[in-house]
Amino acid sequence: MLERLFSLSAHNTNFKQECIAGITTFLTMAYIIFVNPAMLADAGMDKNAVFVATCLAAAIGCFVMGFIANYPIALAPGMGLNAFFTYTVVLDMGYSWQVALAAVFVSGCVFIILSLFNIREWIINSIPHSLRYGIAAGIGLFLAFIALKNSGIIVDNPATFVSLGDITSFSAVMAALGLFIIVGLVNRQVNGAVMIAIVIITTLGVLAGQIEYNGVLSLPPSIAPTFMQLDFAGVLEVGMLSVIFAFLFVDLFDTSGTLIAVAQRGKLLDKSGNLPRLGKALLADSTATVAGSMLGTSTTTSYVESTSGVAAGGRTGLTAVVVGVLFLLSLFFSPLAAMVPAYATAGALFYVAVLMLAGLVNVKWDNLSEAVPVAVICITMPLTFSIAHGIAFGFISYVAVRAFSGQFKDITLSVLILATLFLLKFIYFA
């Protein structure tokens, strides 16, 4: 049965190798079952229900990727998009989390349409690489800002907006220690470094009397507080267009980049350098996003941590299926997830931020027409506390810089249209 479903022998792999790869991938990305509920809880959502939704959405995405697309790529609610969901859409823009879930649902449906009609290629190919690098790096800086804020390392200040907090406080020390543990374990090539660090910091919090111990194992909590709680009425507002676009846009590039990166690592590309069954892989991502929004979590996307499983020998969808099964088993660890404090996940957020900044090395900094829009994105995204605003300023500045530099012919039609729409939104619907 496994041979018929996954063509194991054709991919020069076997059941044992795929299981080891699946376990490896899960360990490197399992931190999301702690980080995502903690982050969405800040939006007013029930932490236990989000925990269940996170595990189920990840499992659904992994199963679709494994059984339909047959790729060793795992999915789960994406980092950055969950921060945008909570801190921009809900806390900054003032929408309810029910409306935010509806926006995620709509963006997933649009993603499905783009994938079915091959519009995705036109969009991706027409967006300059520099803007893509800038968006990824900007989200990284946004996550780093949240990590510092959640740990109390930086605090608000009426005179300077932000200033240094009490770095000798328990939360600040634990957040820094968590980051150092992660880096140390990663450099020692320990699988599950992020998850191990979160558990260690949480344990220290319990021992120090900062956290009440509630056990480790139990039956899964109810998902009722978040299940099918989407509010579509609020999505009809003009202001939500940029939110839906941001969800879609970030997921689109995140997924495409991850698929190519993992496929290259596993030598899964064809002779032309293309990814076979790309449409099915994108379908897994978009359907998982739609399902996740109905369950009660932010956008579900492909995880670049899947490269760890590919490095361990994963070559087929069986690897993704194993990851999905492990996410289902994680449902029984809800007491542990509920105990994890913000300072225990701060180190993980900062670590992910560092990884997302890596793309800046590809920016041609000696070319101001390319460098300025990237800098605008990276600076405005954390300082406006909005991924959507950072993306908008990036597109507008790209068109403006090119136009004033006499390089108008280098501006693609899609970039010009998007920049114009963003500008009109700021003028008439700010």
pLDDT tens column, 212-247: 888 888 899 999 999 999 999 888 787 788 788 888
State the pTM of this model. Answer: 0.82
Q: Which range (265-279, 297-311, 360-374) has the least confidence?
A: 265-279
From 380, 55, 107, 84, select the one nearest 255 (Cα to Cα): 107
pLDDT tens column, 353-402: 888 888 899 899 999 999 999 999 999 989 988 887 888 899 999 999 99
pLDDT tens column, 172-196: 999 999 999 999 999 998 878 888 9
pLDDT band at 93 (very low <50, low <70, confident <90, very high): confident
What is the average pLDDT across 322-333?
Answer: 95
C-beta of residue 385 within 8 angstroms of C-beta of residue 92: yes
Q: What is the dihedral of CA 12, 15, 18, 23, to 10 degrees?
A: -160
From 64, 33, 61, 63, select the one nearest 47 (Cα to Cα): 33
pLDDT tens column, 73-85: 999 998 888 988 9
Residue 1 has pLDDT above 90, yes or no: no
Residue 144 has pLDDT above 80, yes or no: yes
Other CB atoms closer than 10 Å to residue 40's CB: what's the count?
A: 30
C-beta of residue 6 within 8 angstroms of C-beta of residue 319: no
**Tokens matching residue 320:** 């993704």
**Tokens matching residue 61:** 């995405």
Number of H helices, E strands in the chain: 19, 4
Residue 273 has pLDDT above 70, yes or no: no
**Tokens matching residue 241:** 């267009």
Mean pLDDT, all residues of the chain: 88
Reduced to 3 states (helix: H, G, I; strand: E, B; else coil), residue 164 is: strand
What pLDDT is recorded for position 379?
94
DSSP calls for 290-323? HHHHHHT-S-EEE-TTHHHHHHTT--SHHHHHHH
Q: How far apart are the C-alpha atoms of 250 and 246, rounded to whole Å? A: 6
CA dihedral (385, 95, 150, 358) positive or negative: negative
C-beta of residue 154 within 8 angstroms of C-beta of residue 146: no
**Tokens matching residue 243:** 């939110």
Q: How far apart are the C-alpha atoms of 288 and 54, rounded to whole Å? A: 11
